[in-house]
A = this chain, B = another copy of it.
C-alpha cells in the first residue's frame, strides 16, 4: 500500500497548499511544501521528488520559469510536473506543456480530481509494478507460480516456469542460448545445450499453444498474438 512517493507542492497561498498536502498525506504520499519559485527549486534539488505540483502564478519566479529550469536538469528527468492554473485556456496550457509540464488542473481544485490525476501521473513511476504478465490469451503470475492459457491453468515445473517467464518478459526479443543459460542456470553451472531444448519442448507440450519461436543458430523468442 505504501507508495513512498515524494511530492513537492509549490504554491504561495498557504490555505491551498495545506489542503493539497492534507489530501496527499491521506493517500500515503510524502509532501514537501514550498511557498515560492526559488524555494521550490532548492527543495527539489534536495529531495528529487517524483512529482511537483506547481502553481503558475507565484511571486518571484513563475511556475513556467521553474518548470523550464527543472527540465534543463537531468536529475529531474523522471519527475512529473502537474501545473495549477487559475484559467483553463488553451494558450496557458500550451505554454505550460511546452515548458515541460505533464498535466494541468484548474482552480478551484476538487480533491477527488487532484488525487486521480496525481495517481495517473505516478502510475508510470510506481516502483511496485505488478510482475504479472498478461499477453493476449496467455498470462503468467510469478507470485502464484501459475500460468494460464485461455483461462486454463497450466502447471509448469520450476525451470520450465522460469524459462517461460524470462522469454515472455520481453516479447519479441531474442534470447541467445548462453543468455538463457546465464540467467536461469547461472554462470558457474555447466549444462549442455540440449537441456534448454528439452525444457522448451516441455513448455510447448504443456501449453499446447505455440508461442515460442526457434531461431536456428541463435536462440528463442516469445511471440504473442
- Given known contacts A145-B218, A216-B158, A113 and B134 CB-to-CB distance under 8 angstroms: no
**B215 pairs with A145, CB closer than 8 A:** yes
Q: Which of B135, B158, B224 contacts A217 (CB 8 A)?
A: B158
Q: Which of B103, B135, B157 contacts A73 (CB 8 A)?
A: B135
Docked Cα-Cα span, A172 to B74, in Å, equals 13
- Nearest CB of chain B from residue A39's CB, rounded to whole Å: 15
Cβ–Cβ < 8 Å partners of A117 in chain B: 93, 97
Tell me, yes or no, whether A210 is within 8 Å of chain B by CB.
Answer: no
Tell me, yes or no, whether A149 is within 8 Å of chain B by CB.
Answer: no
Tell me, yes or no, whether A136 is within 8 Å of chain B by CB.
Answer: yes
A→B interface (CB under 8 Å): 45-46, 72-75, 77, 90, 93-94, 97-98, 100-103, 110, 112-113, 116-117, 119-120, 123-124, 129, 132-136, 143-146, 157-158, 171-174, 215-219, 221, 224-225
